Structure 1
Amino acid sequence: MKIFGPLYERTLAWAAHRHAPAYLTGLSFVEAIIFPVMPEVMLAPMCVAQPKRAFWFATLSLIGSMAGALVGYALGHYAFEALKPMFAALGMLDNIEAGIATVQAKVAESPWAVFTFLVIGGFMPIPMKVFTWASGIVGVPMLQYVLSMLIGRGKRVFLLALVIRIGGPRAEAALRRYIEPLGWIATAVVVAGIGWLWWHAQSGA
């Protein structure tokens, strides 16, 4: 059953829209708070369509993600208890609570221990919202939080832009050819990453 190929083709059409940069920024913002689709899904075809603007698109995505990270932190800090029923209904509560337990353990070590953990977490395809909400709930120091989000998310979007900028049509052809297995591999990695967070939280309890 092919899922990711048709989705990729549809996203290419969205990426060609004249308002695509605004959509990308908005998607990056909302994804950092609650939306389940990672902005790289839109960023990649936009970079493929206009490789000379790849770094500009990555910058827009990073700006949106950082704004969303601040909102997610504030919501986690001030509104988590009130929003617990919503997260439970969306099936996100267990993942967020696992992230909370892990971040709490790192904060107990030192502010820079949690910084290192969040930077490493940014290299994993775990939804950003898990870390933004957990950090706000726990009260991660703002300096370490902002720097870790900037490095973690910036690395992902600029590395993707660089690969496509260098690869050009070859990168697009390779992405189109292998999109189906890559999509399933990414899905498996996300599941494994969430499982790792849960296991780490349980072992530290």
Structure 2
Amino acid sequence: MKNVEFLDWLQNTNQGAFLFVLSFANAIFFPVGPEVVFVPVIMLNHSKLLPYATCCAAGSVMGLAVTYLMSYHCGQVLIDRYIPSKKMETGVRVFNKYGPLALVIASMFPVFPYRILVILSGFLRQRPAMVFSFLSIGKALRFFGYGLLIAKLGESVVRFLN
């Protein structure tokens, strides 16, 4: 019965603000990404793809803006306290190899710790317009790409699950 109530809530409630807040928090500190709500909603109702992907991308970029600004002003403290030296070295190598384009690639995939690259961007005082442009591209590709895949493959996934 609980699953039915959850699905009913997903379908009959406007999830835009919730997805925005979840994406915003995930970009700063929260370990759960918006996909836990975004994927089922889009599977149930493809028409919500554009507004909800926009909410996820915007919330994520705005949360990353907070991370960037914190790093810009308190970078060394954040790095010393929250980023293990091995991950820092990996982030520096990625930046050295790909430059700011690394932000697009990292922000597309939740597996890579993109927050580290954002923290490095702030610490290295990279131009905010460039950083947010690349992050916006990556997040848009991520959420609109997920949404399109789910909208196209969702029916077969639902049939498979049944």
In the superposition, the TM-score normalised over structure 2's length comes to: 0.78
For 2:149, the aligned partner's letter is: V
CA RMSD of aligned residues (A): 3.0
Q: Quote the Cα distance in structure 2 between the aligned partners of 1:93 and 1:80.
A: 14
| Corresponding pairs, count | 159
1:72-83 equivalent positions in 2, closer than 5 A: 72-83=67-78
Q: Tell me the equivalent position of 1:105.
A: 96
Contact 1:72–1:132 (CA<8 Å) still a contact in 2?
Answer: yes
* TM-aligned CA deviation for residue 123 of structure 1: 3.6
What is the letter of the counterpart of residue 102 of structure 1? R
The aligned counterpart of 1:134 is 120
Residue aligning to 1:122? 107
Equivalences for residues 139-150 of structure 1 within 5 A = 139-150=125-136
Aligned partner of 1:71 in structure 2 is 66
Residue 17 of structure 2 aligns to a residue in which SS? Answer: helix
Superposition deviation, residue 171 in structure 1: 3.6
Look up the SS of the partner of 1:37 in the other structure: coil
Please state how far the C-alpha of 1:43 moved relative to its aligned partner.
1.2
The change in CA–CA distance for 1:33 and 1:114 in structure 2 (over 3 A counts) is same
Check if 1:57 corresponds to 2:52: yes
| Alpha-carbon distance, 1:105 to partner | 2.9
Conserved 8 A contact 1:24-1:39: yes
**Unaligned ranges ≥5, structure 2:** none
- The Cα offsets for residues 96-134 of structure 1, whole Å up to 9 and x where unpaired, read as 52354236535xxxxxx5222222223433143222222
Q: What TM-score do the two structures reach when normalised by structure 1?
A: 0.64
